[in-house]
Structure 1
Amino acid sequence: MRPEGIHIVSTGTALPGPPVDNAALARRFGMSGQWEEWIQLFIGTDTRHLSVDLDTGERRNTLADLAELAGRRALEAASAGPADIDLLVMGTATPDRLLPTTASVVAERLGIDGVPVYQLQSGCTGAFQALTTAHQLLGTGAYRRALVIGGELNEKYFDLGQDFGAMRPEQLINYVLFGDGAGAALLAVEPAGAQAVIRHSSVRLTGLGRPAGQVLEWFGPADRMSDRTPAVEDYKEIEAAVPQMSREIRDRLLADLGWTEQDVHYLLPPQLSGRMTRKVVDALALPGATEISCVARTGNTGNATPFFQLERALELMGRGDRALGISVESSKWIRAGFAIERV
C-alpha cells in the first residue's frame, strides 16, 4: 500500500576543521589586504571549512568521514540504528574514489547492510536528486525508512601550490568560493517523530543543446599528466542563468501544489555564493518568505548545502509553515526543487 506522505524525521550535518576566514586565505596565498576585501565584495563569503590544513597541506578528512558523521548524527537524532534503514541514497560530485562508491563505504561504517544503496554523481542538484529518488522509492510502499546523504570535498580539485599572485580573478574564485561538508536526512513513511512532510520534489534536465556551464575532469592513469584544467566554471553564464532558472522551479512547484507566493513561509535558495544568493532571492520575489542561507558561513558546499539549510529551517518552522528548496546545477543545466510543510 502506498503511504500518504513521506516524512523528514531528522537531519545531521558535518563540517571539517575550524572555520577559515578571508584573512587566513589572503595570508596563505600571499595576497594583499585588498584581495580580502575583493572576496567579501564579489563573493560574499566570510568563512568556509576545509578538509586540508592550509599550513601543512595535510588532508584531515575524506568525504566518507564527513558523510559518516552527518549520517550518524541524523540516526542519533531519531534514536534510530542501522537495522532501521531500508534504503540509502547519496548525492555527490566529488566521491573519494571511482570504486568502491563513497555511499557503500559510508553504509558499511554505519553498520547498514542488506539494503539498496545508490550513489548519484551530480553537482549542486545531487542532494535534490537523492531526496527525490528516496521520496519516490519510499512512495512505492516497498521501503519504510531511507537515509539520504549529500556532501563534497571540493578542495581536492584545487592545487594549493599554485602561484596565486599570477592567477586571474576568474581562476582565483574557485579557491575562495567552495568549502567542504556533508549532510544527511532520515526519511520515513511513518509520521511518528516527524518534523516535516515532503509535499513535492522535482528534478529536470534543461540543457538540451546548451554548452556546459561547469566541468569537473576525471583523471585516470592514462591522462593524469593532462594539461586540462580540473575544474572549469562559466561564471558569467551562471550569473545570467541561475536567477531565471530558479524562478522556473518556483513556478513549477507552486503550480504543481496549487500554492501561491503567499503560502511560502521559508525559502532555501541556491547557494553558489553570498552575492549570487542575493540576486536569486530578489528574482524569486517571495517577500513574505524568510530566507535560509548558510553560504556566508560554510562557503559553497555543493550537495551538503541543502541539508545545512534544511536543518536550520526545521528549527525555525512552526506548525503548518511551508518551505521551498531550490537548486540549479550548471554542469548540463539541471533545475530542482522540493516543498515541505511542518507537521
Structure 2
Amino acid sequence: MHSPDIHVRSVGTALPGPAIDNATLARRFHMPAAWEQWIDVFVGTGSRHFARDLDTGEVRYTPTDLGETAGRRALEASGLGPADVDLMVLGTSSPERLMPATVNMIADRLGIDGIPAYQLQSGCTGAFQALDVAHQMLRSGRHRTALVLGTESCAKHLDLDVDVAALPPAEQINGVLFGDGAGAAVLSTNAGPDSVVVRDTFVRLVGLNRPPGQVVEWFGRADLGVKGPAVVEDYKEIERSVPLLAADALRELLEHAGWKDDELDYLLPPQLSGVMTARITEHLDAPGAQEVSCVRELGNTGNALPFFQLERLLPRLITGDRAAAVSVESSKWITAGLALEKV
C-alpha cells in the first residue's frame, strides 16, 4: 500500500513574559559590565524569555501553560479543531512533573481525549524525535492528524539567590544560554492551503562509549541534601563535537531525501547559541541555502526552538523550495534531521 504524503499544515509558538536582555541579567545578578560583554562576544545570545519572574521568583508560566498556548495557536492556524486531532506527541527535557505526563495535561486543556498521546523526554533532538514518531504513525494510515509539540521551562533550575560571580564559567554559561518557550505543529495526511510535505525524518543515537556532554539531574525528597549543580555541561566537548555531528546529520538527511547539496534552498541549523550556531553553519556544506535561525533573540529553548525556526520558514517557501533542519543533542549524543518540500 502506498504511504500518504505527510503535510505540515501549520505551526504555533508561545513565549513567556518579556525578553530579558544581557544588561538586565547583569544588573539582576550584580555582575560587572564585562560579564555582559562576555555574553555578547563569546555566547552571542542577546535575549531570552523566562517563565519565572526574576524579581519576585514567581513561576508565572508552566510547561503545560506554554504548550497549551502553542498547541491552540497551531490548531487555529491549520483551520482544524481539537476533534480533528487523533494523535499527540510531545518532546521535552523539562516536563512539569514526572506524572501526569505534560502531554496529557496539554491535551486536557485543549479538550482532546480518546487518542494515543506520547511524551518523549529528550534534549535538543526531542522535537525531531516527536516529529519522527508522528510522521511514521501517520504514514501507517491509522491516523490522519497529529499535534506535535515541544515545550521547555528552566524555572526549576533558576536559583535567583546564587552568587553568579562565584560560579565557574561552565555553570555561568548555562544561565545565559537557555530560555523558555513552546512550539507546536499540525501534521496531517490531508494537505492544507499552504502546507509543506515532510520528505524525510531521522533520529540516530551516536553516543556509544562517549561520555555525556550534558547532564541534568533529577532530585527527589531523598536527594535534597545532595551537593553539586543540577546541570553540568562539557561545553568544550560540545564546541568540538557538535559542528562535526551536524555535518554528518545533514549529509545523512540529504542522502535519505535524495537531494544534492546545491538543491537546498533553506537550512535550519542547530540553535545552541548565537556564536555556536554561526560556527556550525559555517561547517555545514549547503552552498546557496538561506539560514533560518532565531537563537540570538530567543535563547536556546531546547525542544521549542525548531518550531520557532519552522514558523519563520513556512511563510518564505514557494513551490519547489526545499529545506533541511538538523539537530544534535549532547546529553548522550543524538543526531536528527527533517527534510521539507513545498509542492
Pairwise TM-score range, normalised by the shorter structure: over 0.9
Give the match for residue 164 of structure 1. Answer: 164
Cα distance between partner residues in 1 of 2:2 and 2:308: 30
- How far 1:169 sits from its partner (Å)? 1.8
**Which stretches in structure 1 are left out of the alignment for 5+ residues?**
none
The SS at the match of 1:184 is strand
Give the match for residue 279 of structure 1. Answer: 279
Q: Is it true that 1:7 corresponds to 2:7 in the alignment? A: yes
Cα distance between partner residues in 2 of 1:83 and 1:183: 20
The SS at the match of 1:288 is coil
Map 1:78-157; keep pairs closer than 5 Å. 78-157=78-157
Give the match for residue 301 of structure 1. Answer: 301
Cα distance between partner residues in 2 of 1:212 and 1:141: 37
- How far 1:194 sits from its partner (Å)? 4.5
Letter in 1 for 2:265: H
Q: Is it true that 1:54 corresponds to 2:42 in the alignment? A: no
Letter in 2 for 1:40: D
Give the match for residue 28 of structure 2. Answer: 28
Give the match for residue 243 of structure 2. Answer: 243
Contact 2:4 2:141 in 1 (8 A): no
Taking a change above 3 Å as real, the CA distance of residues 2 and 151 of structure 1, as seen in their structure-2 partners, is farther
Letter in 2 for 1:107: A
Contact 1:2 1:139 in 2 (8 A): no
What root-mean-square deviation, in Å, do the aligned CA atoms of Structure 1 and Structure 2 show? 1.0
Taking a change above 3 Å as real, the CA distance of residues 88 and 2 of structure 1, as seen in their structure-2 partners, is farther
Map 1:209-220; keep pairs closer than 5 Å. 209-220=209-220
Percent of paired sites with the same residue: 57
The SS at the match of 1:222 is helix
Contact 1:7 1:194 in 2 (8 A): no
Contact 1:89 1:148 in 2 (8 A): yes
- How far 1:3 sits from its partner (Å)? 3.6
Cα distance between partner residues in 1 of 2:141 and 2:294: 34
Letter in 2 for 1:7: H
Please list every run of at least 4 consecutive aligned residues from structure 1 whose deviation after the TM superposition is greater than 3 angstroms: none
The SS at the match of 2:12 is strand
User: Cα deviation per residue 1:52-80 (whole Å; 9 max; x = unaligned)?
Assistant: 11111111000000000000000001121
- How far 1:180 sits from its partner (Å)? 0.1
Cα distance between partner residues in 2 of 1:331 and 1:20: 26
Contact 1:3 1:141 in 2 (8 A): yes
Contact 1:12 1:307 in 2 (8 A): yes
How many residues of Structure 1 are paired with residues of Structure 2 in the alignment?
A: 343
Cα distance between partner residues in 1 of 2:104 and 2:11: 20
**Which has the higher mean CA deviation after the structures are superposed, 121-130 or 51-60?**
51-60
Q: Is it true that 1:256 corresponds to 2:256 in the alignment? A: yes
Contact 1:181 1:304 in 2 (8 A): yes
**Which has the higher mean CA deviation after the structures are superposed, 318-327 or 153-162?**
153-162
Contact 1:153 1:180 in 2 (8 A): yes
Contact 1:49 1:180 in 2 (8 A): yes
- How far 1:201 sits from its partner (Å)? 0.3
Give the match for residue 45 of structure 1. Answer: 45
Cα distance between partner residues in 2 of 1:51 and 1:256: 38
User: Cα deviation per residue 1:146-200 (whole Å; 9 max; x = unaligned)?
Assistant: 0000011023223111011211222110111100000000000012334200000
